[in-house]
Structure 1
Amino acid sequence: MIPSFLGFGLLGAACLAFTEKVSPVPPSHVLLLFLGMTAAPDVTTLVPLMFATTFGSTLGSMIWYTGGNWLGPDRADAAVRRFGKYIFLKHATYQRLTVAYRRNNFRASLIAQLVPVARTYLALEAGVLRLPFVPFAIATMTGAFIWNAAFLIGGYMMRDSDHDPVTIGFRIIAIVVVAEIVFLVALRHSARGEDKDRPSGETHP
């Protein structure tokens, strides 16, 4: 399926990024590493690929935002509780995303794009809370660009290396682990910064 999409060039890459964002399959980091290795023969192609996939990812988030806006708080919570397990979204995870949004909408929208699971489903909660569309879209696009560019560049740097499947598999796993550690450390640092800025008498919602 992926080679068929890539036959359409940047439009196909954008469609793949969109598909990744509206469903848990394929995993975004694997898809983006693969695109960096196969769809970017040089830097002049890599840069447009970053923007095309960012557009597709952002559009996918807007689908979730629209769905959350239509469902509203009660129906969205009930839907996640009933069907979340089928799309790898636990109800407890959904509740944590809700708390994160109540602290800092823009920062949460941006950082969520750098955290697996959250980057896909936080847009649903944004729609449920009916957050202002433009700030949400800007934060989502910025975060998606950072995430996509990191993995596309990683794949691009591996394009001329040993193409043995086992070697490539280990390299992909290593890049994913390192990237997720960095992103989660950034998320934790951001949360600590919010706690320090919070008045001493204020409690979390």
Structure 2
Amino acid sequence: MIGTSPEQWVNTLMDTLGAPGAGIAIALENLFPPLPSEVILPLAGFAASTGKMNLIAALLWTTAGSVVGALALYGLGAWLGRERMIALAAKVPLVKAKDIEKSEDWFNRHGMKAVFFGRMIPVFRSLISVPAGVERMPLPVFLCLTTLGSAIWNTAFIMAGYALGENWKEVSGYVSTYSKVVLGVALLVLLAWVVKRVVKSRKEQRQD
């Protein structure tokens, strides 16, 4: 399948395996965010509208795929743990141990909302599983929030693809715009943080 587009790759997977193929594609999308769910989910809905797969099976398998992918990243976070995260952060320019502590405090206050609503934000829906693992969020809670959030996201786009039929690509266009806006905002926030940290670091150097 090398050299094929994401659409062709996912289509081949679903033609071969049916609804489980859609679930596998979504699990991989969690692990490799460049595989876009805005292609996988509406395409699965379109396939269901043509009778290639059962609609309920598509919803169940894609949600199961989301949970499996999230669990893998949760496991990565749990394996890394707090000490390894601090050690890694120490090697990143401009990042300090207290930044990790602030992140921990934030996650302890807002972690449940972040895991639930994060399932509906591009890229973030994959990354949020890692700090959940690092902070050892209770696994039943993590699974419940991940399943609910993923089910809402998956159902919305599968049903849109199902309703639009051959025009399912219209969904991808809207979600692509949404993704770009979200990523643009994230980059601006990151840039603002870097500028603030550089200015603060220079002030500290002058004082020394």
TM-score higher than 0.5 here?
yes
Q: Equivalent of 1:37, from 16, 25, 46? A: 46
SS of the aligned residue for 1:115 comes to coil
Spell out, residue by residue over 1:73-102, the C-alpha distance to the aligned partner (whole angstroms, 9 max, x if none): 24235558979xxxxxxx8xx979756522
Equivalent residue letter for 1:128: V
Matched, 1:17 2:16: no
Q: Please tell me whether the aligned partners of residues 22 and 40 of structure 2 are also in contact (alpha carbons under 8 angstroms).
A: no
Tell me which residue corresponds to 1:198. Answer: none
Q: Please tell me whether the aligned partners of residues 154 and 175 of structure 1 are also in contact (alpha carbons under 8 angstroms).
A: no
Q: Please tell me whether the aligned partners of residues 11 and 43 of structure 2 are also in contact (alpha carbons under 8 angstroms).
A: no
Tell me which residue corresponds to 2:115. Answer: 109
Cα drift, residue 160 of structure 1: 4.3
Q: Please tell me whether the aligned partners of residues 157 and 171 of structure 2 are also in contact (alpha carbons under 8 angstroms).
A: no
Identity %: 27
Q: Equivalent of 1:133, from 122, 130, 139? A: 139
* Separation of aligned partners in 2, 1:21 and 1:172: 17
Query: Structure 2: where are the runs of 5+ without partners?
Result: 1-8, 182-208
C-alpha change, 1:4 and 1:126, in structure 2 (3 Å) is: same
Tell me which residue corresponds to 2:11. Answer: 3
Tell me which residue corresponds to 1:173. Answer: 173
Matched, 1:144 2:144: no
CA-atom RMSD in angstroms: 3.2
Tell me which residue corresponds to 1:63. Answer: 72
- Equivalenced residue count is 167
Q: How does 1:144-163 map to 2 (within 5 A)?
A: 144-161=150-167
C-alpha change, 1:26 and 1:139, in structure 2 (3 Å) is: same
Q: Please tell me whether the aligned partners of residues 70 and 129 of structure 2 are also in contact (alpha carbons under 8 angstroms).
A: yes
Name which one, 1 or 2, has greater alpha-carbon Rg.
Answer: 2
Q: Please tell me whether the aligned partners of residues 19 and 54 of structure 2 are also in contact (alpha carbons under 8 angstroms).
A: no
Tell me which residue corresponds to 1:123. Answer: 129
Spell out, residue by residue over 1:41-90, the C-alpha distance to the aligned partner (whole angstroms, 9 max, x if none): 36x8222211110000111000000010001124235558979xxxxxxx
Q: Please tell me whether the aligned partners of residues 42 and 158 of structure 2 are also in contact (alpha carbons under 8 angstroms).
A: yes
Q: Please tell me whether the aligned partners of residues 40 and 49 of structure 1 are also in contact (alpha carbons under 8 angstroms).
A: no
Cα drift, residue 130 of structure 1: 0.8
Deviates more, 1:94-103 or 1:145-154: 94-103
C-alpha change, 1:147 and 1:82, in structure 2 (3 Å) is: farther
Q: Please tell me whether the aligned partners of residues 113 and 143 of structure 1 are also in contact (alpha carbons under 8 angstroms).
A: yes
C-alpha change, 1:175 and 1:117, in structure 2 (3 Å) is: closer
Calculate the TM-score normalised by the size of structure 2.
0.67
Query: Structure 1: where are the runs of 5+ without partners?
Result: 84-90, 182-205
* Separation of aligned partners in 2, 1:109 and 1:131: 10
